Structure 1
């Protein structure tokens, strides 16, 4: 396997097995403890059957190859970005071979009779994924075609706060809370809901002329009020087709030692607060169902100490979605890969 992007091309198969075992032992130990790993630890807890001195020599060779780094406060070693990259891609290759003709039900997103579709199905999948990986999950959803509004209803929550609920022709439900500076009586609200649905059914959601609106609005209702709601509905409806991004499990970063530094945490949170930056992270060409990007492979300097496990799916024959598990370099790649595979398979197979 050749390593890509930013590093010298090196064939991983040329590294002898003992060095590979030592490197993988250090990676797995470091994933668990987050502390540098020394030769004595490897000698005592591995089945290599060689002395600590021999292991130290091998570790020095791995350090020269750029696969290990020496911690400043310890004689132990920690994995380098290149080591994580080798490790992650090897795991992915191993996983793909194992799963090439195998299906799994280990993570359930929805049942065939649950009625969860589209954005709601993706949201539930991301919730499960962030919980199972203890990582941040980023996602995007893009529609192929814009659905039509089948029915809508404006519901009063408090005196001047309302929610408008759209039922789309693909049976999706979308809602938006909004405030007004005036109160609407329950009888007027009932008339407004009736009239708006009538307008939508007659005019198939195109904008009405003033004359057409006058013909439909009775003298008991304020023409400007109806016009306001039509403008609001049109604005929200047009936004339905925008690419939607979401960040799930953001609180998980508080449990990661890598984000104990306030400025690093702030930079990470600011990045994920930007919809355009999330789209940049997800905007990658995938050659396989699951791809792994480590460090500089992600393409953003702010995430050079992170890893991204990414998939792209067609959902319900109506959406293109991307889901990414975003973690520090020190993360459980095996779990992240298998969890994303399982959740993506459940999404597209039901």
Structure 2
């Protein structure tokens, strides 16, 4: 069945029920439609049309009343109609991309994505899932080991794109401040000469003074290389989890716990985000989201190139009963802001 095959009156009734249900979260009956719509037909006629829509799989009966609620299929048609209308509206506008990033011209990479997700979460009152993947491997420009407490240190990396990364580690011995200074000098010398490749014993012997333990230098190089290799891993993040506390769909403690456990698993996030997009924004409803536990949810997803260095995806994950107009508009606007940063 195609949405275009449904006659106009049935579409109007279905859309009225969806909009009413979005506002009230209560099943919608024929009398409500008859009194509050401009269909100009009796409640009996509306009941017949609602029965037809139910047979078509677009409406479902509520257990608590004679009213109807939208099905996942109805939300699918509705959300994609909203997206189509939005795309037509945008194509007719003369305005170009938003350039608000000029206000925060210093923010890049993961920080920019994190800020965008925070804004999107607040504007949509939804859970935001995101992923970030590098196109190319940046080089390490500088590294420094800093003592932060007894036998605990942090390695700070400055990459050639000026990003900063760090890793905390512990050892079973203390390193004097003078030795630490020498180690930092040697590590940066080794990195500049060898460009993150493995050093030969001869190169190491030539550079490392007898006052320092060669095994210690090798250990630090191992930590640096291990962290450096992980720079290209796909990073995922979930933002705005507390928003679900205001969603009636998660009033049940078991559902709430299940949802939180699901999104605490990074592999689940990667599976949700592992979709090829044909358009700037696409909508996935129910089973299309990719996990059976999220069959009562929707995902509005976009994919962007950020700073000519990252492929990022941002998705608004929400219940089927969602304000798709606001979600699509907010996601579109925030995506342009990121591109213009």
Partner Cα distance (1:147, 1:133) in 2: 34
Structure 1: which 5+ residue stretches go unaligned?
Answer: 1-9
Is residue 2:285 matched to residue 1:261? no
1:68 to 59, 63, 73: 59
2:121 corresponding residue in structure 1: 130
2:239 corresponding residue in structure 1: 248
Q: How many residues align?
A: 340
Partner Cα distance (1:311, 1:113) in 2: 22
Partner Cα distance (1:334, 1:174) in 2: 38
2:105 corresponding residue in structure 1: 114
1:290 to 273, 281, 306: 281
Contact 1:131 1:249 in 2 (8 A): yes
Superposed counterparts of 1:164-243, under 5 Å = 164-243=155-234
2:266 corresponding residue in structure 1: 275
Partner Cα distance (2:36, 2:26) in 1: 15
How far did residue 69 of structure 1 move?
A: 0.7
Is residue 2:30 matched to residue 1:24? no
Name which of structure 1's ranges 258-267 and 304-313 shifts more when overlaid on structure 2: 258-267
How far did residue 303 of structure 1 move?
A: 1.4
Partner Cα distance (1:145, 1:291) in 2: 27
Partner Cα distance (2:217, 2:252) in 1: 53
How far did residue 106 of structure 1 move?
A: 7.4
Q: What SS does the aligned partner of 1:181 have?
A: coil
Partner Cα distance (2:151, 2:248) in 1: 45
2:135 corresponding residue in structure 1: 144
Contact 1:104 1:342 in 2 (8 A): no
How far did residue 273 of structure 1 move?
A: 2.2
2:329 corresponding residue in structure 1: 338
The normalised TM-score by structure 1 is 0.90
Contact 2:158 2:165 in 1 (8 A): yes
User: Deviations along 1:180-215, whole A, 9 cap, x unmatched?
Assistant: 333333333222222211111111111212332222
Partner Cα distance (1:180, 1:335) in 2: 51
User: Deviations along 1:276-302, whole A, 9 cap, x unmatched?
Assistant: 222221111211111001012223211
Is residue 2:308 matched to residue 1:317? yes
How far did residue 77 of structure 1 move?
A: 0.9
Partner Cα distance (1:34, 1:158) in 2: 54
Name which of structure 1's ranges 304-313 and 16-25 shifts more when overlaid on structure 2: 16-25
How far did residue 270 of structure 1 move?
A: 2.8
2:85 corresponding residue in structure 1: 94
2:32 corresponding residue in structure 1: 41
Partner Cα distance (1:107, 1:315) in 2: 14
How far did residue 338 of structure 1 move?
A: 1.1
Partner Cα distance (1:249, 1:106) in 2: 24
Name which of structure 1's ranges 41-50 and 98-107 shifts more when overlaid on structure 2: 98-107
Q: What SS does the aligned partner of 2:312 have?
A: strand
Q: What SS does the aligned partner of 1:205 have?
A: coil
Contact 1:107 1:342 in 2 (8 A): no
How far did residue 113 of structure 1 move?
A: 5.5
The runs of at least 4 aligned residues of structure 1 exceeding 6 Å deviation read 104-107
Partner Cα distance (2:25, 2:151) in 1: 53
Partner Cα distance (1:123, 1:170) in 2: 18
Partner Cα distance (1:185, 1:288) in 2: 57
